[in-house]
Amino acid sequence: MTKYSANPKVDFYFEKAEKWQEELELLRNVALDCHLTEELKWGSPCYTFEKANIVLIHAFKEYCAFLFFKGALMKDSDNILIQQSENVQAARQVRFTSVKDILNTKEFLKNYIYEAAEIEKAGLKVELKKVSEFKIAEEFQEKLNDNSDLKKAFYALTPGRQRAYLLHFSQPKQSKTRETRVEKNIPQILAGKGLND
């Protein structure tokens, strides 16, 4: 247990970790030292300030990380924030591969957490690309042109769900794969559901 309020509902995440267990516990302590509220969201430890998401802990094969939800708005004076991919608009990661990495950046991390909390206090928002700015795969555009019910259902989805589909459909290099993805997801779109619903 840490000296601040660890949430018992989140303990299992740290106990089940097969890799990075010591690193994950250390990240947990850093977040709790900053007096954030520990919650479980998306199956991962999430730290909030006045109910706003600040930072998430997650583990991957090659590294574990702090993910700052509005990292794109942060100053990053220590140049440690990483954009996971070109499609990630708001979040930024700080990646770790050892306990030493975390100990060496512990004070920086706390400052980043405080900065992220100030961004929330100020009500700042990341300006996201509009759905209309995303490329529509030719295979999907043809379906939208041919099926007015599909077009109506797609544009009735939330912008986030629309973006997820557009990215999913445009990722494959081969037209046949894009076509297969579109066909597979048409029933989901018509049902008013997102890609992962």
SS (HEC) of 122-136: CCCCCCCCCHHHCCC
**Both tokens of residue 171?**
């990722």
Q: Which residue has the higher pLDDT, 128 or 103?
A: 103
Average pLDDT over residues 48-77: 95
Q: Give the residue extent of every domain in the chain.
A: 8-121, 131-190
Gyration radius of the chain's alpha carbons: 20
Q: Per-residue confidence at 5, pLDDT binned at 50, 70, 90?
A: confident
Average pLDDT over residues 70-79: 93
- Whether the per-residue pLDDT at 97 is higher than 90: the answer is yes
pLDDT of the residue at 3: 46
Q: How far apart, in whole angstroms, are the C-alpha atoms of residue 89 and residue 174?
A: 26
Second CATH level (architecture) for the domain 8-121: Alpha-Beta Complex (3.90)
**Both tokens of residue 186?**
């048409």
**Residues ≥6 apart with Cβ < 8 Å to 44:** 13, 56, 57, 58
Find the Cα–Cα–Cα–Cα dihedral 20, 69, 111, 44, rounded to 10°: -30
Please give the share of the chain, as a percent, with pLDDT higher than 70.
98
- Whether the per-residue pLDDT at 128 is higher than 90: the answer is no
pLDDT of the residue at 133: 79
Q: How far apart, in whole angstroms, are the C-alpha atoms of residue 171 and residue 173?
A: 6
Q: Per-residue confidence at 108, pLDDT binned at 50, 70, 90?
A: very high
Find the Cα–Cα–Cα–Cα dihedral 62, 63, 64, 68, rounded to 10°: -110
**Residues ≥6 apart with Cβ < 8 Å to 162:** 131, 154, 155
Identify which of 119, 125, 131, 124 has the alpha carbon closest to the alpha carbon of residue 159.
Answer: 131
Residue 37 in contact with residue 114, Cβ under 8 Å?
no
pLDDT of the residue at 147: 94
pLDDT of the residue at 43: 92
Tell me what the pLDDT averaged over the chain comes to: 91
- Whether the per-residue pLDDT at 180 is higher than 60: the answer is yes
Q: Are strands 44-49 and 64-68 parallel, antiparallel or unpaired?
A: unpaired
Average pLDDT over residues 148-175: 91
Q: Per-residue confidence at 183, pLDDT binned at 50, 70, 90?
A: very high
Model pTM greater than 0.95? no
- Whether the per-residue pLDDT at 34 is higher than 80: the answer is yes
Identify which of 194, 186, 93 has the alpha carbon closest to the alpha carbon of residue 144.
Answer: 186
